[in-house]
Amino acid sequence: MLTLNLILNILLLGIVPFFWGLALCFAVAGTGFIAFVLVSRKRKNLHAAQLQEISAKCQPFLTELAFEGTIPEEYRDLEKQLRSTNNGKWIILNELIKIRKYFQGEAASYIEEYYTKNRLYKLSLNKLYSTKQHQKIVAINEIMDMNYLGATRSLLQFIHKEKSPELVSNALIALTKLDYKLGLNRIIEQDIYLSDWFQLQVIKILDEGKVYEIPPLVKWTKKSTSHALMGLRLLIFSGAMDQMDELSSLLNHENDKLRLETIKAFRTLEYDEISFTLILRYYNEPTRNKCEIIRTLEVLNYKQNLAFIRLCAKSDDSEIQRVAKEALRRLTPEEIRLGVNAPIIHLFTPTLQRAV
Amino acid sequence: MKIYVFEDEALLLKSLEFRLSKEGYDVNCFSNGLEAKQKLQEELPDLIITDIMMPFLNGLELISFVRNDLKSQVPIIVLSAAGLEKTVLEAFNLGADDFVSKPFSPNELLIRIKKMSHRIKISVM
Amino acid sequence: MDQTLHYISLYVQYGIIFYAIFLMSSYLILSVISIQALYKYLRIAEYTDHKDLLPSDISPKISLLAPAYNEGLTIVENIRSLLSLHYSDFEVIIINDGSKDDTLIKAIEAYKMVPTDFIVSNDIPCKAIRTVYKSSLPEFSNLLLVDKLNGGKADALNAGVNVSTADYITCIDVDCILEQDSLLKLVKPFIDSEKRVIATGGVIRIINSCEIKNGSITQINVPKNLIARMQVLEYLRAFLLGRMAWGNLSGLLIISGAFGMFDKEIVKAVGGYDSTTVGEDMELVVRMRRYMVEKEIPYCVKFIPDPLCWTEAPENTQILGRQRNRWTRGTVETLWLHRKMFFNPKYGIMGLLSYPYWFFFEFLAPILEFIGIVWMIFATIFNLVNWPYFIAITACVYTFAVMLSMLAILAEEITFYQYKNSRDIWKLVGAGLMEPFVYHPFLVWSAMKGHVDKIKGKKSWGEMTRVGLKST
């Protein structure tokens, strides 16, 4: 007992200086953190002030450039002076990118022309070959925003080499922006998960470019579930009605979400013939998909749909009941009597909305 | 001609102000919906350009405020992100006169403004 | 007798040393993970245009659930700021939880609400819903108001889930100020992940002494009130150095009740909020996670570090004490309900790391600290204190606590840089130096009171009095 006491006591005495040392380390670290905050803050403020000043100088002539296509005489010297330094170039590029986002048509092409003519793309390409992830993202975005076609090959190489799925996704989006056909085909080949966010951005680009020529659905479904989903969304986007067999086969896919989107697709494309198949499939689907089937049947024109929706309105599942009852409520008494849907409902489908 | 521009993106607002005043319009810019509302109560412009999504008071409310509360028929051009068809239809229902989707072509906007101002002149005559 | 006491004293001291070292190293590890994760998040977020979500058919519909109880003073303004959030397809569902004041009438009048025969699902049990109102104004066609019998916050949220027609629900405190793009940021992880995302949570920041104009923040300041100022530090530490790491380790157990988004299907599958606990926000996340593990579905819970939601912190000890008392009871209840997960490898990180962390540091820490203080008093009386040792370990713990606060200030500075005024930094540093002496003992005391109340079987929430700062 006594020896144990001794050991503990020595340990305790030895541990006191240790704790003091530790306390000193913590104190130094804490002071260091705050010193860093204050120093970096001063530099940041100085830098920000300079940046703002130069940006403010740029804005008038860049606005002129966007609206008129040329930089007026009175700004030429300033612009040249800015462009002569790397820092100035960098600021101009940043401002260009900010302003580019608001415009399309002529204004956009003026800005892109300026970017190419003044070789600002060199800045972007350098960043693409950088070792820092952050720089790579910046580069991909700049190339995409400025629609710089000269970078197509560099992007393809980049996609081939890069390991990070985030960067590859970004690069695929940029590639699609530069060359729709090449980009889409590359996406089909790429072994990568295509998130909804990714699909949304690609579709946005196709929409802006008014591109409705999409690789056939079969090519997408062969690759993976997320590819199939993307193919499906692109099909809806393009409004193509010639691949219904392939689309119908997706109703047998094992993935719940994919089937849900397939059902939605039939509604958006207003493919009436599918009604009976949907009714047959109804009982094997989870609740979310069941609701989607009801909403789709409401829109599709098939004389037995109404009776079926009425049946659904008596379901034990309150979610299904609600969707069915809402569907019935939207139908006017006249429609219910006739058992068909009036065009008024079709007004709310996305295809027609786009037409409006 | 007096134009009020309501838009929450500072850079776009600045460049619009710069360009429109160069074109000879008297431009007032607002980045916040409520500021806009106060200004409208004080004085009505000849034309309003508004974004839909603005802090605190959205563009739809603003249109409804001009048409229903101020009972004014001043022309309103909606400038908003593309693809929000539902919202745009709502804006037209509430009394917007024209719609330009972002990203937009500046020349198109200028032409639309000119067309509107032409209409104002006729109605004044 | 003397001998035994001496040994007890030694073992207690050793126990405390090991515990302290364990706790400090966990904090440090979490901080390092957090800062790395923050850096990565910001790098990608810089080039993410969340507005791309707006026009797309792919972006999901969201229901905003805002329970309101006696909010008559501010309800009209608060609804307005919810409606002006940036998102295309969303519905705002205000749930009047049997308010005793004019909350309902004010909302109905301001937004021309009319009763509808809305079909409410009854998937989750909740108190009876009297009427569902809908705004008759076309510009507010996405506004719903549910009038129900009083049943508490969890019950009100459950009613909201039943009314919701969207796939995702966002629960918010009606008096919070949300950033315009907060919904966009919160929904993005749901559509950008290969695994199923069941919930996302945002950072809560403290709004006291900030300048607010027309429902949005124009100037961010450090609170003038000392108690609120210390909470700023506490929140910075918790969110930037703590939850960010847990989010990254996929071990996040709590999403603040003030602002979080959930997959409605899973919320319904687990039976909604538990109205018998006062910590319903934490409990729901834990239950949802358990459900996913038990069903063997790959999933994740994501944390968004952007300052999205601003809330008013209590400025006096009484209300703060009640709040912490409630949080403690919530933690205890949740930990007890899900005790099965404690060091259970079946639940992965959640069972092996998150749950023990909460048990040892959130639940046990105040108790141990309290015992420590009592022991010190006892030991002083019987002259058992090894003073050099005691002073050294106190200095060590104190400097560690201060260092962690400074690290939190640094993390804020290099990421979001919200406090532009340099004097604010000094104010925070000052608060950090004082905190371990004044604020922390008070928190320990409140937590102990929470434990005592829990044992006594207290269930109440404690009224939260508002200053009503939004009416400016």
Q: Of the residues A100, A119, A138, which one is the last residue of a structural domain?
A: A119
Share of chain A above pLDDT 90, in %: 34
Contact C164, C268 (CB under 8 A): no
Average pLDDT over chain C, rounded to whole? 88
Q: In this complex, do A63 and B12 lie within 8 Å of one another by their Cβ atoms? A: no
Q: From the list A60, A106, A208, which residue is nearest B105 (CB)?
A: A106
pLDDT classification of C34: cutoffs 50, 70, 90:
very high
Q: pLDDT tens digit string along A174-188?
A: 999 999 999 999 999
pLDDT confidence of A347, banded at 50, 70, 90? very low
**pTM of this structure:** 0.85
**Mean pLDDT across the stretch A329-349?**
51
Give the Cβ contact number of residue A17 at 10 Å: 11
- Position of tokens 């008494």? A333
Mean pLDDT of B12-31: 86
The pair of structure tokens assigned to C246 is 């847990």
CB of C49 within 8 Å of a chain B CB? The answer is no
Number of structural domains, chain A? 2
Handedness of CA C276, C279, C281, C287 (dihedral sign): negative
- Which residue of C410, C412, C422, C435 to mutate against A (max A Cβ within 10 Å)? C410
Q: Does the pLDDT at position A350 exceed 70?
A: no
Residue B37 has pLDDT above 60, yes or no: yes
Asked, for residue C86, whether it belongs to a domain, the answer is: no
pLDDT per residue over C310-333, tens digit each?
998 999 999 999 999 999 999 999
When computed from its CA atoms, the radius of gyration of chain A, rounded to whole angstroms, is 30
Domains of chain B and any CATH numbers: 2-123 (3.40.50.2300)
C41 SS3 class:
helix
Q: What mean pLDDT is predicted for residues B66-75?
A: 89
The rounded distance, in Å, linking the Cα atoms of B42 and C251 is: 55
Determine, yes or no, domain membership for A31: no
Residue C449's pLDDT is 92
Residue C440 CA to residue A353 CA, distance in Å, equals 58
Alpha helices by DSSP H, A105-224: 106-117, 121-128, 133-145, 152-161, 165-178, 180-189, 196-208, 217-223
Looking at residue C463, its pLDDT comes to: 46
Residue with tokens 């037409």: A355
Report the share of chain A in percent with pLDDT over 70: 88
C344 occurs within a structural domain: yes
Torsion angle of C-alpha atoms C159, C164, C167, C171, degrees rounded to 10 = -60
Secondary structure (3-state) at C420? coil
What domain range includes position A98?
53-119
Burial of A135 (C-beta count, 10 Å sphere; 0-12/13-18/19+):
middle
CB A185 within 8 A of CB A156: no
The residue of chain C with its CA nearest to that of B85 is C55
Output A209 or C104, whichever has higher pLDDT: C104
Range of the domain at C278: 1-48+176-472
Compute CA distances A52 → A27, A55, A299, B18, whole Å: 37, 5, 54, 17
Q: Compare CB distances from C84 to B56, B63, B90 and report the shortest one's residue.
A: B56
User: Chain B: nearest CA to A101, how far in angstroms?
Assistant: 6
Confidence tier at C62 by pLDDT (50, 70, 90) = very high
Q: What is the DSSP string of C197-219?
A: EEEEEEEEEE-TT-EEETTEEEE
Q: Check CB contact under 8 Å for B103 and A99.
A: no
| Secondary structure element (H or E) that encloses residue B5, with its range | strand B2-6
Confidence check: pLDDT of A32 > 90: yes
At residue A354, the pLDDT reads: 40
Residue C358 neighbours by CB distance under 10 Å: 21
Is residue A336's pLDDT more than 70?
no
User: How near does any CA of chain B get to the CA of A91, in Å?
Assistant: 15
Instruction: Please check whether residue C161 lies inside any domain of the structure.
Output: no
Q: Which amino acid is at C302?
A: K
Domain membership of residue A174 (yes or no) is no
Check pLDDT > 90 for residue A16. Answer: no
Q: Is the pLDDT of residue A101 over 90?
A: no
Contacts of C140 (CB under 8 A, 6+ apart): C83, C111
Contacts B–C by Cβ distance under 8 A: 54
Predicted local confidence at residue C168, as pLDDT: 95
Number of domains in chain C: 1
What does the pLDDT read at residue A158? 93
Q: CB A126: neighbour CB atoms within 10 A?
A: 11
Residue B125 has pLDDT above 70, yes or no: no
Higher pLDDT, C15 or C105: C105
Give me the pLDDT at residue A346, please. Answer: 36
Minimal C-alpha gap between C420 and chain B (Å): 20
Is pLDDT of C125 > 80? yes
pLDDT digits (tens, 9 = 90+) for C419-472: 888 899 999 999 999 999 999 999 999 999 999 998 887 665 544 444 433 332
Residue C157 has a pLDDT of: 94
B30 Rama class: left (phi>0) / alpha (psi -120 to 50) / beta: beta
Residue A348 has a pLDDT of 36
Closest CA to C330 of C462, C234, C227: C462
What secondary structure letter does DSSP report for A80? Answer: H
Which residues share a beta bridge with B77? B49, B98
Interface of A with B in 92-111 (CB under 8 A): 98-99, 101-108
A235 falls within a domain: no
Say if the Cβ atoms of C44 and A166 lie within 8 Å. Answer: yes
Per residue in C341-395, pLDDT (tens digit) is 999 999 989 999 999 999 999 899 999 889 888 988 988 898 878 888 889 888 9
Q: Is residue A162 part of a domain?
A: no
Contact A101 B103 (CB under 8 A): yes
Helical spans, DSSP H, in C226-316: 226-236, 244-248, 264-269, 280-294
Q: Is residue A258 within 8 Å of residue A229, measured between CB atoms?
A: yes
pLDDT bucket at A325, cuts 50 / 70 / 90: confident
- Quick one: what percent of chain C has pLDDT higher than 90? 57
pLDDT > 60? residue C32: yes
Measured between alpha carbons, how far is A176 from A168 in angstroms, rounded to an integer? 12
Residues C410, A15: C-beta atoms closer than 8 Å: no
Kindly report the number of other CB atoms within 10 A of residue B68's CB atom. Answer: 12
CA distance C211 to C222: 11
Report the C-alpha dihedral over residues A306, A308, A309, A312, rounded to 10 degrees: 160
The minimal CB distance from C193 to the residues A22, A27, A195 is found for A195
Residue B82 has pLDDT above 70, yes or no: no
Q: Is residue C56 part of a domain?
A: no
Complex prediction ipTM:
0.88
Residue A95 CB partners (closer than 8 Å, separation 6+): A55, A58, A59, A62
Residue A206 domain flag: no
Q: pLDDT-derived band of residue B124, with 50, 70 and 90 as boundaries?
A: low
Q: In sequence order, which residues have a C-beta less than 8 Å from that of residue A47 and are 6 or more positions away? A: none
**C10 in a structural domain:** yes
- In terms of phi and psi (left: phi > 0; alpha: psi -120 to 50; beta: otherwise), the region of C412 is alpha
Alpha-carbon distances, residue B107 vs B5, B16, B119, B121, C349 (angstroms)? 17, 12, 18, 21, 58
- Choose the most confident range, by mean pLDDT, from A180-184, A322-326, B79-83: A180-184
> What share of chain C in percent tops pLDDT 70?
96
d(C-alpha C433, C-alpha C442), whole Å: 15
Candidates C121, C388, C410; nearest CB to A319: C121
Between CA C197 and CA C301 the distance in angstroms is 6
Give the closest of B56, B61, B83 to C214, CB-based.
B56
In this predicted structure, the answer to whether residue A3 has a pLDDT above a threshold of 70 is no
Q: Which two tokens stand for residue A319?
A: 């979610």
Report pLDDT for C459: 60
